[in-house]
Amino acid sequence: MAGTVITFYSYKGGVGRSFTMANIAVLLARWGYRVLTIDWDLEAPGLHHYFAPILPEAPRGGVIDLADDFLSGAKRPAPHILKAAVEGNGALSLLAAGKMDRTYMGRMQSIDWERLYEQGFANFLEVCRDIWTAEHDFVLIDSRTGISDIASICTAHLPDRLVVVFTANDQNLDEVVDITRRADDARDRMPYDRPRHTVLPVLSRLDNRVEYERADMWQRKCAKAVAPLFENWLVKSVPENLMLRHLTVPYVSYWSFGEQLPVLEEPVPSPDQISYALETIAAVIAQGFDRTDVLEDNRDAYVAAARNHHRDFDLDLLVSSPRTLLRATEELIVELNSLGVRAERSVSGDPEILQRTGVPAEHLCLLVDGEASRWQITEAERFLRHAIGPEGGQRQLFCVLSKNTDRDRLPGFLRNLRRLELGSSPALVARQLHTLIQGTPENESNHDALMTAATALRGLPEQMPYAGRFALVQETVRGMAAALDSGDMELLLDHSADLVLISKTRGNGSLTAMPPELRAVVGALLARIDRRLTAFTD
């Protein structure tokens, strides 16, 4: 499958475009994607500065050398690309602007792009583009600012999508939408099959830490201005203002000095760190600007889905247990390994577990004796926060209880999980876990439960004999949503049956209409269930 070409563009300079692109490129590469970055900001190149610590050497060639390759009659570009060193299963490469020596500026200024196009340079660029997209999942182009021949190459000719980076001022807002329309008009005149642009607006350098009220006012103003850019890709139920908040890179003075890569220093960022916002934007790019409804529901799950897309886990199952169940845990792991499940023990209480940036296992199993320890709860919460994909079923959290465990003392999110009993036979538990991990019978029953729930929700009448009935409906629907969140399909079936009974209207008096708030809650839950059902059939 061919890679995607994405141009990062800004109408004005000084908005943090190169900073944003460089950090997103590193994130995508760490998540397992093959990424090529191209520095086409020829008058003020800077990507080589960001990547200098991870490059094997200074660039010896670059974009301006493509013109020389073409003029020399070459059929394909010379090898000007440098590979950077990043962690993970992906790859990060740089096609710099050129060799940064005394001759660079003169060579760059001597290029007549319009004349090159007249001589057939566009076809040569198409060859380059085919090579780049064949070898990479993402080709990220850092374009120069303003309106020029170079900007037109980057915004009209080459990209599949645009990322427009802007700041909260009128100079940016006056042009941010219009420039994309001009790019569409320009590519319509080209003899290449390119669809109209899909544009991701990124609000950069918003200082919302001190001037909170002014920042909020400007964010809303910016969302209104760039709303047309969301028209052809944002899920209709997601408000533009909310989406732009996800696409906002905050101003953090610490990162304003030099060319830095905070994503390398903030591997597990908190919401107040700049890498948190960069992760969100990278996830939207990784997922093709798709499933933004999932982003609205659960940002961490959305990012985790993008991060885990190419992940090969070292283990199938990590078993977290207290020391009181050491012997049973060891027996369980031996049985799991004999069944072909790669399992190891995680000792709850070891701080190193919580400091790991990676996730060693696809699934997590908690063995609870008496009550879940605070370490186990933290470990489980971390798994749920960072590991569950947008469909909710790719990775699973299991809970196995000893006979000494009081179920009512478990935290709510564990109490709602399907529980297994440890008993005296770890071998039986191992077989049960093996069946659940394999997933075929479970997926079939999950599909049936989701279908039943969707039917019950669609069968709700718009009017009922008295208002109190709708209070019961609201409570039941909330229970269905909680069951869906926890993955407890049996509980979802129980609530669905209750909803069917409540829906049977009786009485001959006046009817009360369903409150709009409840209608919205029902619609949102039904949409979530429909997305899950779609995932089964895709």
What would the mean pLDDT of 69-88 be, rounded to a whole number? 92
What would the mean pLDDT of 50-76 be, rounded to a whole number? 93
* pTM attached to this predicted model: 0.65
The whole-number pLDDT of residue 307 equals 84
Q: Which residues of 147-170 are buried (b: 16+ CB within 10 A; e: fewer)?
A: eeebbbbbbbbbbbbbbbbbbbee
Token readout for 111 is: 């290029």
Give pLDDT tens digits for 107-119. Answer: 999 999 889 989 9
User: Count of CB atoms within 10 A of residue 73's CB?
Assistant: 6
Answer yes or no: are the C-beta atoms of 474 and 457 closer than 8 Å: no
Sign of the CA dihedral with 212 first, then 216, 221, and 226 last: positive
Give pLDDT tens digits for 470-490. Answer: 888 999 999 998 888 777 788
Give pLDDT tens digits for 275-291. Answer: 999 999 999 999 999 88
Give pLDDT tens digits for 139-153. Answer: 999 998 766 655 578
List Cα–Cα distances, 467 to 45, 455, 513, in angstroms.
66, 22, 8
HSE toward the beta carbon, residue 93, CA cutoff 13 A:
19
Q: Which value, to the nearest 10 degrees, does the dihedral of the CA atoms of residues 30, 36, 41, 46 take?
A: 40
Out of 195-209, 258-272, 429-443, which region has the weakest mean confidence (pLDDT)?
429-443
Helix/strand/coil for 276: helix
Sorting pLDDT into bands at 50, 70 and 90, what band is 190?
low
The whole-number pLDDT of residue 344 equals 93
Question: How large is the angle between the packed helices 489-503 and 440-458, nearest 10 degrees?
Answer: 20
Residues sharing a CB contact under 8 Å with residue 213, sequence separation 6 or more, in sequence order: none
Give pLDDT tens digits for 364-403. Answer: 999 999 988 888 888 888 777 655 543 444 678 889 999 8
Answer yes or no: are the C-beta atoms of 476 and 499 closer than 8 Å: yes
List Cα–Cα distances, 31 to 34, 282, 310, in angstroms.
9, 10, 7
The whole-number pLDDT of residue 186 equals 74
Number of H helices, E strands in the chain: 24, 15
**Torsion angles phi and psi, residue 371, rounded to 5:** -150, 155
Domains of the chain: 4-308 (3.40.50.300), 315-438 (3.40.50.10140), 441-537 (no CATH)
